[in-house]
Chains A and B, each alone.
Chain A
Amino acid sequence: MNLLSSLSPAYAEIFLLTMVCVILVLDLFIANHTKTLTYLMVQVTLLGCSLITVSTHQGGIAHLFNHMFVDDLMSDVLKLLTYLAVSMMLVYSRTYLMARGLFTGEFLGLVLFATLGMMVMISASNFLSLYLGLELLALSLYAMVALQRDSAVATEAAMKYFILGAMASGFLLYGMSMLYGATGSLDVGRIAQVIQHGTPNKELLVFGLAFIVAGLAFKLGAVPFHMWVPDVYHGAPTAMTMFIGSAPKLAAFAFVMRILVEALQPLMIHWSGMLMILAVLSMAVGNITAIAQTNLKRMFAYSTIAHMGFMLIGVLSGTVEGYGSSMFYAIIYVLMSLGGFGMIMLLSREGFEADNLNDFKGLNQRSPWLAFMMLLLMFSMAGVPPTVGFYAKFSVLNAAVQAGHIPLVVMAVLFSLIGAFYYLRIVKLMYFDAPESHEKLYLQPDSSLLISINGLAVLALGILPGTLMSVCAVSVQQSLLH
Chain B
Amino acid sequence: MNIEILFYLFAAVTVFAALRVITARNPLHAVLFLVLAFVSSAGIWLLLEAEFLAIALVLVYVGAVMVLFLFVVMMLDINIEQLRVGFLRWLPLGLLLAGLIGVQMVWVLGAKETSAGMTAVQHAADYSNTKELGRQIYTDYVYPFELAAVLLLVAMVAAIALTLRKRRDTKRQHIGTQLKATKQDRLRIVSVPSGHKSDAAPAAADSDVHAAD
A, B assembled together: yes
Binds B, one of A76-84, A108-116, A357-365: A108-116
Contact between chains at A133 and B147 (CB < 8 Å): yes
In the bound assembly, the distance between CA atoms of A143 and B154 in angstroms comes to 9
CB-based contact A110/B147 at 8 Å: no
B117/A135 in contact, CB under 8 A: no
Q: A116-B150, A143-B161 are in contact. Are A201 and B143 (CB under 8 A)?
A: no
Query: Which of under 10, 10 to 19, 20 to 34, or 35 or more describes the interface residues of A?
Result: 35 or more
Asked whether any CB of chain A lies closer than 8 Å to the CB of B1, the reply is: no
Distance between Cα atoms of A65 and B165 in the complex (Å): 40
Which residue from B114, B144, B151, B161 sits with its C-beta under 8 Å from A110?
B161
- Do residues A106 and B161 form an inter-chain contact, with CB atoms below 8 A? yes
Q: Which of B105, B116, B140, B157 contacts A109 (CB 8 A)?
A: B157
A-B contact count (CB 8 A): 89
Check B165 against A149 for contact (C-beta < 8 Å).
yes
Interface assignment of A129: CB less than 8 Å from any CB of chain B = yes
Q: Judge if B192 is at the interface, Cβ distance under 8 Å.
A: no
**Which residues of the partner chain A approach B114 to less than 8 Å between Cβ atoms?**
201
Minimum CB–CB distance from A78 to chain B (whole Å) comes to: 18
From 355 to 399 in chain A, residues with beta carbon under 8 angstroms from any chain B beta carbon are none
**Given the complex, which residues of B lie within 8 Å of A136, measured CB to CB?**
147, 150-151, 154
Residue contact B154 to A113, C-beta cutoff 8 Å: yes
Contact A203–B108 (Cβ < 8 Å): yes
Please give the distance in Å from A397's CB to the nearest CB on chain B. Answer: 35
In the complex, B148 has a CB within 8 A of chain A: yes
Contact A146 B162 (CB under 8 A): yes
Q: Does A52 contact B (CB under 8 A)?
A: no
Is A421 interfacial (CB-CB < 8 Å)?
Answer: no
Pick the most buried of B105, B116, B144: most chain A CB atoms within 10 A of its CB: B144
For B, the interface residue count at a CB cutoff of 8 angstroms equals: 31
Which of B105, B142, B147, B151 has the most chain A CB atoms inside 10 A of its CB?
B147
Name B104-145 residues within 8 Å CB distance of A: 104-105, 107-109, 111, 113-118, 139-144
State A116–B157 Cα separation when bound (angstroms).
15
| Distance of A68 Cα from B136 Cα, bound (Å) | 14
Contacts A129-B144, A136-B147, A207-B104 hold; do A184 and B161 have CB atoms under 8 A apart?
Answer: no
Q: Are A128 and B160 in contact (CB under 8 A)?
A: no
- B115 and A106 within 8 A (CB): no
- In the assembly, what is the distance between CA of A146 and CA of B160, in Å? 12
- A104 within 8 A of partner (CB): yes
Per-residue CB proximity of A39-82 to B under 8 Å, as 1/0?
00000000000000000000000001110110000000000000
Interface string of A192-231 (1 = CB under 8 A from B): 0000001111011001000000000000000000000000
Cα of A132 to Cα of B143 in the assembled complex, Å: 10
Q: Are A128 and B144 in contact (CB under 8 A)?
A: yes
Query: A106–B154 Cα gap in the complex (Å)?
Result: 10
Residue B158 at the chain A interface, CB threshold 8 Å: yes
CA of A113 to CA of B157, assembled, Å: 10
A139 lies within 8 A of B155 (CB):
yes
Q: Is A120 an interface residue (CB 8 A)?
A: yes
**Which of A126, A132, A201, A204 is close to B148, meaning CB atoms less than 8 Å apart?**
A132
Q: Mark A176-187, 1 if CB is under 8 A from B, else 0.
A: 000001111000
Q: B142 to chain A: which residues have CB within 8 Å?
A: 65-66
Q: Which residues of B contact A110 (CB under 8 A)?
A: 154, 157-158, 161
Contact with B along A127-162 (1 / 0, CB 8 A): 011001101100110110011010000000000000
**Distance in Å from the Cβ of B9 to the closest Cβ of chain A?**
23
> With A and B bound together, what is the CA distance between A68 and B141 in angstroms?
8
Q: How far is the CB of B109 from chain A (nearest CB, A)?
A: 7
Supposing A69-B143, A106-B157 touch, asked if A184 and B117 sit within 8 A by C-beta, the answer is: yes
Chain A positions within 8 Å of B115 at CB level: 181-184, 198-201
Are B144 and A142 in touch, CB under 8 angstroms?
A: no
Residue of A nearest to B117 (CB): A184
CB closest chain-B residue, reference A120: B147
Say whether, besides A198-B116, A203-B108, A204-B111, A139 and B158 are in contact (CB < 8 Å): yes
Provide the residues of chain A in CB contact with B153, threshold 8 Å: 113
Measured CA separation A201–B108 after assembly (Å): 9
Which of B111, B116, B162 contacts A147 (CB under 8 A)?
B162
Given A182-B115, A203-B108, A207-B104: A106 in contact with B160 (beta carbons within 8 A): yes
Q: Is the CB of A204 within 8 A of B108?
A: yes
Answer whether residue A11 sits at the interface, using C-beta atoms and an 8 A cutoff.
no
Contact status A68-B143, CB under 8 Å = yes
* Distance from B137 Cβ to chain A, minimum over Cβ atoms (Å): 12
Taking CB atoms, residues of chain B closer than 8 Å to A471 are none
The chain B residue with its CB closest to the CB of A104 is B161
Provide the residues of chain B in CB contact with A129, threshold 8 Å.
143-144, 147
Q: How far is the CA of A143 from the CA of B151 in the complex (A)?
A: 13
**6 closest A-B pairs by CB:** A143-B158, A106-B161, A65-B143, A132-B147, A207-B108, A128-B144
| B residues adjacent to A (C-beta < 8 A) | 104-105, 107-109, 111, 113-118, 139-144, 147-148, 150-151, 153-155, 157-158, 160-162, 165
In addition to A110-B157, A201-B111, 17 A-B residue pairs with Cβ atoms within 8 Å of each other are: A17-B150, A24-B157, A66-B141, A66-B142, A109-B157, A113-B154, A129-B144, A129-B147, A132-B144, A136-B147, A139-B151, A139-B155, A146-B162, A198-B115, A199-B116, A201-B115, A203-B108
